[in-house]
A and B are shown apart, each in its own frame.
Chain A
Amino acid sequence: MITNSMGTKRPSDAPHAPGGAHPAAMIVRRKQPASVRVRKNLIHIPLIIMGLVTLFPFLAMLSISLRPGEAVSVPDIFINPNVSLAAYVEALSNSRIPRWALNTTIYAVVSVVMVLLFASMAGYAFAKKKFLGREVIFWVFIAMLMIPYQLTIIPQYLIVGQMGGLNTMWGLIVPTIANAQAMFLMRQFIQDIPDELIDAAKIDGAGEFRVYWSIILPQTKPILATLGTFVFLWHWNDFLWPLVSQQSPDNYLLTVGLNSLQSETVSLATLMASAVVTFIPALLVFIFLQRYFVRGVMMSGIK
């Protein structure tokens, strides 16, 4: 951890560590000289700048939403003392936002459950079972990841249309639940579960379904949590498919609805207040389930 300071031998080091290899040097080195400490803390400067760049759009959104009726010019929106919640009252009195939030919640939650169920079932079979065509079927699935989503969205629209699923909740959900990435990750994870565990359960008389339900599923809890968080946010933020498949404003999701407000005659403050409201659930999910995210991203990078 302190390797940075190892190469650079400053004059102030000399009186503490005359012999270099003396055991006391180990203890002394913990107390870094002031110059090293200052240099180490300098790294905060670019980090803080980048943190502000990251945070600025959110702060601007919040600031504008709190100052309705003001001219939106730059230093003004951050320092003007006339703060009010009027824009939030107006945003929430738009009767459609709660409706959109409900639609989005149903879409996200049902999808998460279905994706996790189907992906873990298929992932288990692909990881632990031998059956004819296993490799072929699996690689067909993975190869389909190469096909751009935009090429399939028109046929998907036509197919769901022929089923009578346009403008319905089930039509919105159904095309999204066979998720290839989720299945792939589940398979990777289940492969690492020792076979002995499954065999032992079978010897104890557990049936095939029982093995899946009470051995495999509990073992996959960490990956289920990670995947579930990701899938939830994908669906919460999903845009293109809800945009083309839901035409009636009552069936919009928050993303589509928020975008539609842009073209309506609402004030910028109300638009931003609506944006803040729609962001809160995603923010809460992120704050409380952050570690699953970080783990998921890091896993995807290593595998």
Chain B
Amino acid sequence: MTATATRASPAPEENASGPVTGPAKNRIRETLLSRGAMFAYIFILPYVVFFTIFRIVPALYGIVLSFGEYSLAGQLRLSGLENYVRLFQDDVFWNSLRVTAIYAVLAIPLSIVVSLLMAQLCNRTLRGMSIYRSLFFLPVVTSPVLSGIIFVWIFSGAGPISAGLEVFGIELGSWLQSRLLVLPALALVAAWSSFGYNMLILLAGMLAIPSDYYEAAGLDGANAWERFRYVTLPLLKPSLFFVLVLETVKSFQAFDIIYVMTGGGPAHDSYTLTYMIYDQGFGYSEFGYASAVGVVLLVITLILSLIQRRLIGGRES
């Protein structure tokens, strides 16, 4: 406010030209027309243009598409709720909803528990700690395609997991061909890829906890588990919430490793909602139908984030 006030002398007649306008209107015009504001518009312009064309318009267009059909000639024909009616009668859709839910239930807790455990282990001064931390971060910078390709071999019948289990007389064969094990395998890969990142976020949260709290707990005779349970966990809630939201979004939008490792198989058992969008859209050119799945995904994401926010907010008050 002071910035514009000090430079409020562009032209004296400009103030005099509008004697009817109130002070509020004057202020608006001043903010709108001051040189700083003009400059600001110029500076956000490239960003706004690109963001509008490639984010806002596609998002709205996607919602419109879900109520219509897109012909290969490039014509959009609105068809009302047809796509949704078809979707809710489609077994493939209900299956992919189930697959997405199971995958999320497996992947989210697995990743959070591993990250929390590793953050606790790394939250100390120890020789070589920085090497460990770098090591754990390596999968984060690895492309999902690359990790997918390696893990295809790791989970294959000839891979180390099968070989290791055979020693104990357990024969599971290839995990990715197994209707039961394909989602756990994908969740393990997701946890392997992301725990280094989540661990760092949790570690930052842990380092922000004042050491007095631990000293006080120690004086009260709390053991390591009690210190973790009653000091670390409650104070880590904001970081944990952040990681939870991150992992939820990620698991509902997982695509790359599924595409590389399973292609939705076997028998649609890893055919998640996002895979369905891709498959219907780019496999069958059913852009309208695929967009309807996208809108369902959007609604689910919104509901989940509302629930999570309510849950955390409710506990804090």
Contact = CB atoms under 8 A, between A and B. Distances in A.
A56 to B, nearest CB: 8
B141 A282 contact: yes
A170 interface: no
Nearest to B126: A43
A60 B37 contact: no
* Secondary structure of the B contact surface, majority rule: helix
Given A3-B218, A129-B39, A174 B44 contact: no
A173 B55 CA distance: 14
Counting chain A CB atoms within 10 Å of each CB, the highest count among B53, B146, B192, B252 belongs to B146
Interface residues of A, number: 99
Interface in A1-24: 1, 3-4, 6-7
A6 to B, nearest CB: 6
Interface string B130-142: 0011111111011
Counting chain A CB atoms within 10 Å of each CB, the highest count among B35, B48, B219, B301 belongs to B48
A268 B205 CA distance: 42
A233 B141 CA distance: 7
A294 B164 CA distance: 35
Given A258-B149, A262-B149, A302-B204, A150 B277 contact: yes
A116 B1 CA distance: 28
Nearest to B125: A1
B121 to A, nearest CB: 6
Interface in A44-98: 44, 46-47, 50-51, 53-58, 60-61, 64, 72-75
Contacts of A36: none
Contacts, number: 290
Contact of B37 (A132, A272, A294): A132
B146 to A, nearest CB: 5
A214 to B, nearest CB: 15
B58 A118 contact: no
Interface in B267-296: 274, 277-278, 281-282, 287, 290-291, 294-295
A126 interface: yes
A124 B43 contact: yes
Interface in B27-77: 28, 31-32, 34-37, 39-41, 43-44, 46-48, 50-51, 53-59, 61-63, 65, 70, 74
A34 interface: no
B280 to A, nearest CB: 9
A105 interface: no
A137 B44 contact: yes
B211 A301 contact: no
Nearest to B164: A74
B4 A55 contact: no
A178 interface: yes
A272 B74 CA distance: 41
A113 interface: no
B55 A178 contact: yes
A192 interface: no
Interface stretch (B16-24, B104-112, B152-160, B178-186): B152-160
Contact of B153 (A152, A239, A259, A268): A268
Interface in B297-312: 297-298, 301-302, 305
Contacts of A130: 1, 3-4, 31, 34, 36-37, 40
A154 B277 contact: yes
B192 to A, nearest CB: 7
8 contacts: A54-B135, A55-B135, A130-B40, A154-B290, A239-B259, A255-B144, A282-B142, A300-B242
Given A122-B47, A301-B204, 10 more contacts: A57-B139, A131-B31, A132-B31, A157-B281, A159-B54, A237-B144, A258-B145, A301-B202, A301-B242, A302-B204
Counting from the closest, the 10 A-B pairs by CB-CB distance are: A151-B294, A301-B201, A237-B143, A129-B40, A155-B58, A178-B50, A178-B51, A122-B47, A155-B61, A74-B163
